[in-house]
Amino acid sequence: MQQTSLNIIAIGIFIMTVSTILGPILNIPPAVPAITTFGILGLATIDTLSWNNKGATLFLDLFVTSEQRQRVIHHEAGHFLTAYFLGIPITEYSLTAWEAFRKGHYGQGGVVFEPNSAISKTVDKKDLPLTLDRLCTVWMAGIAAEKLVYDEAEGGQEDCQQLQIALNMAGFPNTIYSQKERWGQLQATSLLERHKRAFDALVIAMAERKSVTECCQIIQENC
């Protein structure tokens, strides 16, 4: 089961526990917390089986703090900046689950590259190892950006999964994954440090929801 649904279930259990304790004090009928909890658990199950956890992701997005929002912006700016300098075209980006949902994407937001299909085919054909190295750097750039700003990364699980899938498609053994992950982070960190001024300007631009074209211009102006 996905982490988002597990979080929903944890919330349901917490509500039931608190309601059970406070019920007698607030004169809440015993059936109310039980029905509420089972309703949440039922919706979480349906969401997992039928909607690929999109509902849970959107629900949890309502409780994201401003500090977490800012962390997401830095994370995605890391992806954006490295993709720009490594020549991987960017079509759009979103910074919340609701923004991603409105644009027809799944998840909590992210930078969308173009063309995804061509990138996947290149990796699958094993034609250009350099392309895979560039993608490793871009995928690990979000984690690298968080570590540069916050000393640790909270996000990046999906990025690591993408890297694992790409390595498997390219025929690499699982034993090389940790090596490629560390290499990608080091390359991304080096690039972000070299272009810190552009990165800081990009964070501000993305927070203001500037267009992809405007963000690219801002990067160029601050190189």
Asked whether residue 213 carries a pLDDT value surpassing 90, the answer given is yes
70 and 54 part of one domain: no
Clarify whether residues 74 and 55 are in a common domain. no
Residue 185's alpha-carbon distances to 35, 127, 133, 174, 188, in angstroms, are: 47, 23, 11, 18, 5
- What pLDDT, on a 0 to 100 scale, did the predictor assign at position 54? 52
82 and 25 share one domain: no
For 81, list phi and psi in degrees, rounded to 5. Answer: -65, -45
Between CA 44 and CA 51 the distance in angstroms is 10
User: Per this entry, what is the length of the chain?
Assistant: 223
Count how many domains the chain has: 2
Residues 22 and 103 in one domain: no
Are residues 177 and 112 located together in one domain of the fold? Answer: yes
pTM of the complete model: 0.70
Q: Note whether 74 and 170 are same-domain residues.
A: yes
What is the domain range of residue 79? 66-221
Whether residue 52 is found in the same domain as residue 82: no
**Residue 143 and residue 118 in one domain:** yes
Check whether residue 54 and residue 155 sit in a common domain.
no
Phi, psi of 93 (to 5 degrees): -150, 160
AA identity, residue 172: F
Give tens-digit pLDDT for 54-94: 555 555 556 567 788 889 999 999 999 999 999 899 999 98
Q: Are residues 34 and 120 in the same domain?
A: no
Give strand pairing partners of 112: 92
Higher-pLDDT residue of 168 and 197 is 197
Using the 3D structure, point to which of 15, 39, 61 is the last residue of a domain.
Answer: 61
Q: Which helix (H) or strand (E) holds 93?
A: strand 90-94
Same-domain pairing of 144 and 197: yes
Please report, for the domain that includes residue 187, its CATH number. Answer: 1.20.58.760
Please give the pLDDT value at position 174.
Answer: 81
Backbone angles phi, psi at 211, to 5 degrees: -70, 165
44 and 70, same domain (yes or no)? no
